[in-house]
Structure 1
Amino acid sequence: MLPNISLLFTKFNYFVIKYLQNKYWYVVICLLIFLIFSFIYFPEIIRKRVHDDWTVIDISVQEFVNNKIEKPLQPTLNFPPEDHFRKRDLRITPYLLANVFSLNSLRLFYLQILLLPVFIWFSIKIINRVTKNAAVSFWGTIALLFSYVGNSFNYDTLFYDSYAYLGLLIALYFYKSPASILFLLASYFVDERSIAPSLIIPLFAGLTNFPLQKTAQDFKTTFRKFITENKSFWMVCISVLIYVFIRILFYKNYHLNTPIGKDSGVSLGLGFIHGAKIPFAIFSSLKLNILLILAASFYLIKKKYYFVALWFIGIFITCFLVSTAVEDVTRSLAYAFLLVFVVYLMVGQIEEKASRFIYFIAFVNILTPTYSLLLSLYKIEAFSWFVHFSQKY
């Protein structure tokens, strides 16, 4: 006799709702998610260490990062100014962090893995806060983990984008506080691609204080609530201005700049050189979470919330264009994950039931592989390590 799947799932959700209400069990659940997820997605550098299959590129990247940790503001002069590798010069946040805590490139990666429970904690917290539904917050976080956003904590070997993902998420959580400026700047100095998604934070703040249904009022009122009276808007603006000012100083004093030129690997539409691989790369960045963004965009237009729609869709298009301006589309488009939290905010404000759709997204994301474009299509598949282990032994 087959078990009643629906009943078992309902009981599991009841368990989640019950224990997420307790702050101590909340931490335990976050740690359990981290352990189980990391067990499925075995950390890439640990795997390479176990099998001792470091490539020449792996070793050269480790040496580069170790040199940057020792001297974070010294440009890599042995590469030409337009070389794409020079972009790594400006990943200053992780280098400074490693410098302060005396970490090398690999230990900085292991710290990245250990920061995943923090990402899980904030993700569940934010979704639960806006939806008032602990089960949705749990499965919504799972849906994010099994996209490249979550995979990056275990597989983002020495790029450290996960530090930017976490910084953006914490800035969203503290959108009312000036502390968000610090986390935004930290994210920007991991990668400037953080700037585009960070512009969604004022929209999140605006919708929190001025519900979606009220945005149908006159344009002047909506503009005032989302712009002039929105503290979060001005804090993000201040963050961007400070970042630009520091970048100018870095350029003048240390010759640190984003590479430009025919060999820089940065060009609008460059990612499309991969042809048929691009759909896999785009899907892998957020997996079915992309459907949440597209559904929200359609809903906003259909209900004539044009101000919010223009802001929301405009940022997503910007993130998409930026992601195709480099070869690794997956890692770049993953920065758009912050838009998903605005969708959950909308779900909490409108009457339509979306919980089953979110559960569906979580399960599909668990069962489908993730790809990363690093010159070639690199497959990151759940349970693949288990198949490899069983075949070997």
Structure 2
Amino acid sequence: MLPNIGILFNNFNTLIIKYWQNRYWCISISILVFLVFSLIYFPEVIRKRVHDDWTGNDVLVQQFVNNKIANPFKPTENLLPHDHFSKRDLRITPYILANAFGLNSLRLFYLQILLLPLFIWLSVKVIYKATNNYVLGFWGTIALLFSYVGNSFNFDTLFYDSYAYFGLLLSLYFYKNPLGILFLVASYFVDERSVAPSLIIPLFAGLTIYPIHSTNKDFATIFQKMIVQNRTFWLVFISLVIYATIRIIFYLLYHLQTPVGEHSGVTLGLGFIHGAKIPYAIFSSLKLNLLLIIFACFYLFKKKHYIVAVWFTGVFLVSFLVGTAVEDVTRSLAYSFLLVYIVYLLVAQIKEKASKFIYLIAFVNILTPTYSLLLNLYKVEAFSWLIHFPQHF
């Protein structure tokens, strides 16, 4: 006799509610989810070390990162502007972190892996703050975990985007706290693509104080509540000013800069040169979480919440344009994951029954493959370490 799947699923959700309310059990669950996820998608650098499976490019990237760790403020010379290495001079947060703690490129990656259980814990907590529902928090986090956002912690070898993802989520969690400025500036200096999605943080803060059903008042009132009186708006504004100021100082003192212009490898729509590979890259970034963002855009305009709609949709469109203006579309577009948390906040405020849809998204994301697009489309294989393990011996 087959077990009743519905009853088992409900019992599982009951356990989630029970144990996430306990301070220590919620940490244990985060670690358990991390371990199970890592068994499915074994950390890439560890797998390569076990199988001695380094390519020539892997060695070049390690050498580049190790040189940057040793001299974070030394500009990279003799590279063409479109070369990916030339864009990494101002992405110095990982290099400074590694320099301070005596880490090399690989150990910096291992530290990145260890951030994943903290990311899981933070994600569930943020969704819970938005919805007052630990079950949605858990499954919403699983839905993100099985997109490129989660895969990046184990797969993103030596680009360190996960530090930026983690920093952005920390900033959202501490959106009322000036400490968030530190996390934001650090994220910006992991990758400048963090800037666009960070603009959603003041909207999250504003909507917690001034719920969506109240936004049908006049423009002046909304502007006053969402911007002028919104402490988080000014914290993010200060973060951007600090970031711009430091970039200018770094340029004047060390000649660190990001290539711009026609031959910089950054052009609107550049990613579409990959043709049929682009849908895989776009889908893999957030998978079905993209539907949540798109539905939210349509809903806000349909219900005439125009200020929120323009803010939310504008940040997404800018993130999309930035993500497709480079060749590594998957990694770039994944930065917009922060918008998903706004969707959960809206779901809670408009009282829509979205639970089953969230569960569906989580399960579809688990069952569908993840791809990374950088020059070529690369499939992030589940259990690849297990398939090749016997061959090593």
* TM-score of the pair, normalised by structure 1: 0.97
1:170 and 2:170 matched = yes
Aligned-partner Cα distance in 2 for 1:359–1:90: 39
Aligned-partner Cα distance in 2 for 1:171–1:317: 21
| One-letter code aligned to 1:301 | F
| Residue aligning to 2:326 | 326
SS in 1 for 2:215: helix
| Residue aligning to 1:299 | 299
TM-superposition CA deviations, 1:199-237 (whole Å, max 9, x none): 000000000000000001111111111110001111111
TM-superposition CA deviations, 1:256-300 (whole Å, max 9, x none): 111124442111110000001101100000000001101111111
Aligned-partner Cα distance in 2 for 1:52–1:387: 15
| Residue aligning to 2:123 | 123
SS in 1 for 2:268: coil
Aligned-partner Cα distance in 2 for 1:42–1:100: 28
1:343 and 2:338 matched = no
| Residue aligning to 2:380 | 380
| One-letter code aligned to 1:104 | N
| One-letter code aligned to 2:48 | K
Contact preservation (8 Å) 1:187, 1:194: yes
Provide structure 2 residue ranges, at least 5 long, that are not aligned to the other structure.
none
Contact preservation (8 Å) 2:42, 2:384: no
| One-letter code aligned to 1:99 | N
Aligned-partner Cα distance in 2 for 1:382–1:7: 28
How much is the aligned-residue C-alpha RMSD, in angstroms? 1.4
Aligned-partner Cα distance in 2 for 1:174–1:97: 21
Aligned-partner Cα distance in 2 for 1:383–1:355: 29
| One-letter code aligned to 2:144 | L
Aligned-partner Cα distance in 2 for 1:258–1:169: 25
1:10 and 2:10 matched = yes
1:348 Cα shift? 1.3
SS in 1 for 2:102: coil
The more displaced of 262-271 and 323-332 is 262-271
TM-superposition CA deviations, 1:128-163 (whole Å, max 9, x none): 111111111000000000000000000000000000
TM-superposition CA deviations, 1:243-265 (whole Å, max 9, x none): 11111111111111111244421
SS in 2 for 1:90: coil
Pairs within 5 Å for 1:1-393: 1-81=1-81, 83-389=83-389
1:389 Cα shift? 4.9
| One-letter code aligned to 1:364 | V
Contact preservation (8 Å) 1:17, 1:134: yes
| One-letter code aligned to 1:228 | V
SS in 1 for 2:371: strand
Aligned-partner Cα distance in 2 for 1:371–1:381: 9
Aligned-partner Cα distance in 2 for 1:43–1:21: 30
1:4–1:389 Cα change, 3 Å:
farther
Contact preservation (8 Å) 1:152, 1:162: yes
Structure 1 vs Structure 2: percent identity of aligned residues? 71
Aligned-partner Cα distance in 2 for 1:390–1:335: 37
Provide structure 1 residue ranges, at least 5 long, that are not aligned to the other structure.
none
1:381 Cα shift? 3.2
Contact preservation (8 Å) 2:42, 2:383: no
SS in 2 for 1:216: coil
Aligned-partner Cα distance in 1 for 2:391–2:53: 19
Contact preservation (8 Å) 1:368, 1:382: no
Contact preservation (8 Å) 1:19, 1:26: yes
TM-superposition CA deviations, 1:38-86 (whole Å, max 9, x none): 1111000111111111111110110110010011010011324554321
Aligned-partner Cα distance in 2 for 1:13–1:382: 25
Contact preservation (8 Å) 1:149, 1:286: yes
TM-superposition CA deviations, 1:321-349 (whole Å, max 9, x none): 00011001000000000000000111111
Aligned-partner Cα distance in 1 for 2:390–2:345: 43
| One-letter code aligned to 1:367 | L
Aligned-partner Cα distance in 2 for 1:309–1:381: 37
* TM-score of the pair, normalised by structure 2: 0.97
